[in-house]
């Protein structure tokens, strides 16, 4: 498969601050690729460089085989961008928003018309086509921004935290639409600080922190490698936590590890037997949780911090 994005030692610096500090990755055509990390990890800076909205400070960055430094216009016409904020034109109707955007790409009018109707149907907005933007809910606005990003039939769709601020229902609808787009063959690059979003959607992802990649791989593989299968979470009072940890620590094998974030203790490399032991010790067994490991745990294991602060 050919790479649609190729980044080598990609760097973005503001003054003395490195927002992106030497990032290497490739995204293959047709892939659903994620950048997962907390706020300030460098996700948005990375996609802004890919979309030629911000300059590359150093390193190599190619989109569709083109160097972004010298081919801004050509690269931008390959990309559909869904930014963090819904920067829709509030003074225009839903359909007119898309028409205006298609003109920026120089899409011929008849072709734009077709794509707009298709996009509105795909995003379940056809009934709202002639409404003002103010008549849309948060989830609808998001879907409209996605429809807008499709008017140029992009080879690469970029979404910057597409479900931040949406209620669970709206969120699931956006996810469904994104999976639909992937099935239709669109290459998608997504940034998120929600581990469930990354886990649900991404074929492959990079976990980022402080402008660097901590780890890269398929979500399940990353979890298995860094967090094991199961996790024990202790939400106990401090003295009790100390006692439990003292007892639990020697029981863990080589792959076992204990992390504390704020007032919660996480134990990795655990099994059912550990859970039984801790549950028996706890004054309130309800505050001991035994669950499957996820990407949040991967991040925690790699940094000792939570994803969403």
Partner 1 sequence: MRSGGVVPWLGIAIPGPRFIAVWQRDRDVFLRLWKAEVLAPTIEPIVTLLGLGLGLGAYVELGGDRDYVEFLAPGMLMVFPMFGAMFEALFGSYFRMDQHGTYAAIQATPVRPEEIVLGDIAWAATRMALNTGLVLVMLLMLTPWLGFVKSPLVILTLPVSLLCGLLIAGVSIAFTSIARSISQLSYFFSIYVLPMFWLSGAFFPTDDLPRWADIASNLFPLYHAVVLSRALTEGDLSWGLLGNLGFLLAFLLPSLWLGIWAMRRRIIRG
Cα–Cα dist 122/154, whole Å: 15
Reduced DSSP (H G I as helix, E B as strand, rest coil) percent helix, strand, coil of the chain, to 5: 40, 30, 30
Minimum CB distance to partner 1, residue 191 (Å) = 14
Question: Among residues 5, 19, 36, 81, which is the contact residue for partner 1, using CB under 8 A?
Answer: 81
Minimum CB distance to partner 1, residue 159 (Å) = 12
Question: Among residues 20, 68, 270, 298, which is the contact residue for partner 1, using CB under 8 A?
Answer: 68
Minimum CB distance to partner 1, residue 254 (Å) = 48
Minimum CB distance to partner 1, residue 290 (Å) = 45
Asked if 128 interacts with partner 1 (CB under 8 A), we say no
| Nearest CB to partner 1, comparing residues 23 and 52 | 52
Contacts 24+ apart (CB under 8 A), 107-111: 107/151, 107/152
What is the SS3 assignment for 147? helix
Question: Among residues 39, 65, 89, 243, which is the contact residue for partner 1, using CB under 8 A?
Answer: 89
Cα–Cα dist 143/154, whole Å: 16
Question: Among residues 56, 195, 214, 231, which is the contact residue for partner 1, using CB under 8 A?
Answer: 56
Minimum CB distance to partner 1, residue 98 (Å) = 12
| Nearest CB to partner 1, comparing residues 107 and 232 | 107
Contact of 90 with 133, CB cutoff 8 Å: yes
Strand partners, 11: 21, 58
Cα–Cα dist 121/129, whole Å: 10
Question: Among residues 91, 130, 167, 309, which is the contact residue for partner 1, using CB under 8 A?
Answer: 91
Burial (CB count <10 Å: 0-12, 13-18, 19+), residue 66 = middle
Binding mask 223-252 for partner 1 (x = CB under 8 A): ------------------------------
Q: Which of 42, 40, 41, 49 is nearest to 6 (CA)?
A: 49
Asked if 87 interacts with partner 1 (CB under 8 A), we say yes
Minimum CB distance to partner 1, residue 101 (Å) = 7
DSSP H or E segment with residue 58? strand 58-63
Minimum CB distance to partner 1, residue 180 (Å) = 22
What size, in residues, is the chain?
Answer: 309
Question: Among residues 104, 180, 220, 263, which is the contact residue for partner 1, using CB under 8 A?
Answer: 104
Asked if 103 interacts with partner 1 (CB under 8 A), we say yes
Burial (CB count <10 Å: 0-12, 13-18, 19+), residue 300 = buried
Asked if 106 interacts with partner 1 (CB under 8 A), we say yes
Asked if 157 interacts with partner 1 (CB under 8 A), we say no
Asked if 85 interacts with partner 1 (CB under 8 A), we say yes
CB count within 10 Å of CB 76 equals: 19
Q: Which residues bind partner 1 (CB under 8 A)?
A: 51-56, 68-70, 72-73, 76-77, 79, 81, 83, 85, 87-92, 96, 100-101, 103-106, 152
């Amino acid at each position: 498969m050919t790479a649609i994005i190729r980044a080598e030692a990609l760097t973005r610096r503001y003054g003395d601050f490195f927002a992106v500090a030497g990032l290497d990755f490739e995204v293959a055509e047709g892939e659903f690729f994620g950048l997962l990390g907390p706020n300030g990890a460098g996700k948005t800076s990375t996609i802004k460089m890919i979309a030629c909205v911000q300059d590359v400070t150093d390193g190599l960055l190619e989109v569709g085989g083109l160097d972004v430094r010298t081919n801004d216009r050509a690269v931008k016409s390959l990309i559909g961008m869904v930014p963090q904020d819904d920067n829709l034109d509030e003074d225009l109707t839903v359909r007119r928003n898309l028409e205006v955007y298609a003109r920026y790409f120089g899409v011929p009018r008849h072709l734009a018309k077709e794509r707009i109707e298709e996009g509105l149907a795909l995003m379940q907005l056809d009934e709202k086509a002639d409404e003002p933007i103010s008549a849309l809910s948060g989830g609808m606005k998001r879907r409209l921004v996605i429809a807008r990003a499709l008017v140029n039939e992009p080879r690469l769709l970029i979404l910057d935290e597409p479900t931040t601020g949406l209620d669970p229902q709206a969120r699931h609808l956006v996810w469904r639409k994104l999976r639909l787009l992937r099935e239709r063959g669109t290459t998608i690059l997504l940034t998120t600080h929600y581990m469930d979003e990354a886990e649900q959607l991404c074929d492959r992802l990079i976990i980022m922190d402080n402008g660097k990649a901590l780890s890269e791989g398929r979500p399940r593989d990353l979890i298995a490698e860094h967090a094991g299968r199961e996790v024990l979470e202790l939400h106990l009072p401090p003295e009790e936590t100390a006692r439990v940890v003292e007892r639990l620590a020697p029981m863990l094998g080589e792959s076992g590890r204990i992390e504390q974030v704020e007032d919660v203790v996480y134990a990795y490399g655990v099994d059912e037997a550990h859970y039984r032991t801790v549950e028996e010790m706890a004054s309130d067994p309800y505050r001991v949780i035994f669950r499957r490991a996820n990407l949040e745990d991967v991040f925690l294991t790699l940094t000792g911090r939570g994803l969403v602060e």
